[in-house]
A and B are shown apart, each in its own frame.
Chain A
């Protein structure tokens, strides 16, 4: 399923809404999650999962082509942990 299919399904279930409003709704949800993580916040959606930010320490990396050492700066990466309900549903529980 891709973004446009998700939008279409929501639009089909809600015939009273304009398609462009459904697009805005779906886009707002994903933007809100990304913006929260960009601020360093967590987003906890019970039953579905939680989005959080993890810190990766600075390290000395290596250019795999030349073998040369390079300093890699500390950085923050997005992380998702599946919620219990969804994890159980995936396994038929």
Chain B
């Protein structure tokens, strides 16, 4: 394990290397991809990327939570949360790559 953190910059660099557009345009394209996925999710759509994974939006009902420090009860409003389910291929690659 190398324990590095990649950012948008690394993704745009990969796009730049792969397609040979300008660095500027490469980073704009990475941004548009993330933007379009976000917009679809905010619209309540599922985003299904074959061999990568599926992002879905789930509705969570209201419930009574508790402040763990004070023990005080606090209402938690109904909300929408995003879940990511990795594809089998991703799970296999991540398991194989990190195996000791």
A interface, CB within 8 angstroms of B = 1-3, 6, 9-10, 13-14, 17, 21, 24-26, 28-30, 32-49, 53, 55, 75-78, 80, 82, 86-87, 89-91
Q: Is the CB of B98 within 8 A of A53?
A: yes
> Cβ of B94 and Cβ of A34 under 8 Å apart?
yes
Chain B nearest CB: distance from A78 CB in Å?
Answer: 4
Whether B64 sits at the interface, judged by CB under 8 Å, is no
Contact A89-B42, Cβ < 8 Å, known A10-B33, A76-B95: yes
CB proximity of A49 to chain B, nearest CB, Å: 7
Binding site for A on B (CB under 8 A): 1-8, 10-11, 14-15, 18-19, 21, 26, 29-30, 32-34, 36-38, 40-42, 45-53, 55, 57, 79-84, 86, 89-91, 93-99
Contacts A25-B29, A87-B81: A33 and B11 contacting too (C-beta < 8 A)?
yes
17 A-B pairs (CB sep. < 8 Å): A3-B52, A6-B37, A21-B19, A25-B19, A25-B29, A25-B33, A28-B14, A29-B30, A32-B6, A37-B97, A38-B94, A40-B3, A40-B98, A44-B7, A49-B82, A53-B94, A80-B55
Distance between A58 CB and nearest chain B CB, rounded to angstroms:
12
Query: 8 nearest interchain CB pairs?
Result: A40-B1, A38-B97, A80-B84, A76-B98, A78-B86, A1-B40, A82-B82, A90-B80
- Closest Cβ of chain A: how far from B86's Cβ, in Å? 4
For residue B52, which residues in chain A have a CB less than 8 angstroms away from its CB?
A: 3, 30, 33-34
Do residues B15 and A29 form an inter-chain contact, with CB atoms below 8 A?
yes
Give min CB distance, A92 to chain B, whole Å. Answer: 9
